[in-house]
A and B are shown apart, each in its own frame.
Chain A
Amino acid sequence: MRTLPFALSLILVAAGVFAFGRWLGNSYAFFAGYVVVQYIVLGTAWNILGGYTGYVNFGITAFFAIGAYSTVVLHKLAPVLPLPVMIVVGGVLAGIVGLGTGYLTLRLRGVFFSIATLALAVVVQTLITNWDFVGGARGAYVLRPRTAPLIGGEYMQYLCLIMLGLGVIVLVTARSIQRSALGYGFAAIRDDEGAAEASGVPTLRLKLIATTLSGAFMGMAGAPLPYYVTYLDPASGFSLNYAVNAIAMPLIGGTGSWLGPVVGAVLVGGLQEYLRVTISSAVNVLVAGVLMVLFVIVAPQGIVGLFQRKR
């Protein structure tokens, strides 16, 4: 399928999901749906660098929280700004940090790159915790408006719609990359960086594109968060859950294709939301952990890999 028909059908699916939520008329559905779609965005963003290019980023919360805290700042400085603008700002900031991370870690490969990104998360968390303007360790309240702009109804519905739109954008981008020269270049880097360079692939430039894009999308996924939680402190913005899920979901779904993170997020995210309300709110991390271990052993190519033709 070409990109345009794919984008249109994805928009149709998103519209269908949203219409279904409205028909249910249950505000919890929007809360749960928001989380699942947020993980689709976050998992896909991680996958551009981790799955396509083979650089495992553990510093997800750094980028995610940069997006979230840029919204906190904008909410204090210019609360009239529409949410999509805040998302773009958060994405740009996280993208710049992604570019910087790429530059600083150019010589690092494999596990050493991962450790450096882990350090990045700690550094950003320390900075935010000590920044009084955004509430420091106390956290910040971001009260969401009572009603949604444009569409009416609860504001939560608007948040969900925005996240669905973001999901469409991220998935179309990820799929286009996968099928383009850029995607082949990423795959070459993942398989053998030296051989990629010898085949004419400008590995440095491509790695920077990957870190920037991946960081930007993670920031965009985090930007609406303050309006979702209404109270954001470093402990929740930098929660390990985001990092674990953003890695577990692509791994479970399959890292080689754009569909993997979607399958993983819907499955794991859905299961977590279900268990959160039926059993315990703490069991969701266990789900991601157990499933991740299981899939790494039983199906290292993920669910999508199980269905792909055996070559």
Chain B
Amino acid sequence: MSALLEVSGLGKQFGGFVALDGIDLDVMPGERLGLIGPNGSGKSTLVNCICGTLQNETGHVRFAGDVLDGEPAHRRTQRGLARSFQLPRPFASLSLAENLRIPILYTVNARAGGGLAGAAIDARCRDLLGQVGLAEKADRLPRDLTQIEMRKLELARAMAAQPKLLIADEAMAGLSHTEVDEIIALLIRLNEQGVTVIMIEHIMRAVMEFSQRLAVLVAGRKIADGEPKDVVREPEVVRAYLGE
């Protein structure tokens, strides 16, 4: 089976600062990958380069066999590569249901043969909100939501694009123990429906529980990749997190 996402030799600089240096990363269809690394190690830059928010300077990103280099973010989302943002970025003037309507209108309906019309779109929005437990607030504005509800909306909006690959960028930062469990359950349910998931997270408990495979970034390089249990014991990983 060939990889769904292939990142090869990916590099990105900001002026003289090397944010990413020759990253290689393959993600298989249906996989649950955890991506960890200390602050400033380049995790979000990697996500941004994969999703097209930033353009990589060297190397390639391939998705489902196609080279994505230079393609704008919205085209990648239409291909089935969705992300959630680290800090929730809802459409503040639109109701929750309308927030989900946007990706449906512009991704699902933009794909061949995927046209949903008026009432069907609304039903789908409400169904998605139900899946994340926000059904009752469908007509409210994002400003009425709590922190965890905001994260759920962020994930629901990414799910609304019916992605093949979902990148959850620190979807759990700042949440309580039980709230973290809720999000993990949500992501695992999504994965069981056939969506490949990359989870970027600082909460080790969540990462260990969720990931089938773990990759570690430190200072713009990938220093480990493999079984989560083995990876966290590797001396280089321990050194990066705990020092000498």
Contact = CB atoms under 8 A, between A and B. Distances in A.
A203 B93 CA distance: 17
Contact of B91 (A188, A204, A256): A188
Interface stretch (B98-106, B218-226, B229-237): B98-106
A13 B189 CA distance: 55
Nearest to B98: A184
B94 interface: yes
B113 to A, nearest CB: 16
Contact of A199 (B95, B103, B141): B103
A201 B74 contact: yes
B85 A200 contact: no
Nearest to A181: B105
B73 A197 contact: yes
Contact of B139 (A195, A256, A311): A311
Interface residues on A, range: 20 to 34
Given A185-B106, A191-B94, A197 B74 contact: yes
B68 interface: no
B110 interface: yes
B78 A198 contact: no
A268 to B, nearest CB: 24
B94 A198 contact: no
A267 to B, nearest CB: 23
Interface in B123-165: 139-141, 144, 157-158, 160-161
B110 A200 contact: yes
A187 interface: yes
Contacts of A187: 91, 93-94, 98, 102
Nearest to B78: A200
B102 A188 contact: yes
A199 B106 contact: yes
A202 B93 CA distance: 19
Contact of A200 (B53, B91, B107, B139): B107
B205 interface: no
Contact of A198 (B73, B105, B144): B73
21 contacts: A184-B101, A185-B105, A185-B106, A187-B91, A188-B102, A191-B90, A192-B90, A194-B53, A195-B90, A195-B91, A197-B73, A198-B83, A198-B85, A199-B74, A199-B107, A200-B103, A200-B110, A200-B161, A202-B72, A202-B106, A311-B139
Given A196-B91, A200-B161, 5 more contacts: A185-B105, A191-B90, A196-B74, A199-B106, A200-B103
Interface of A: 181, 184-185, 187-188, 190-192, 194-204, 256, 311
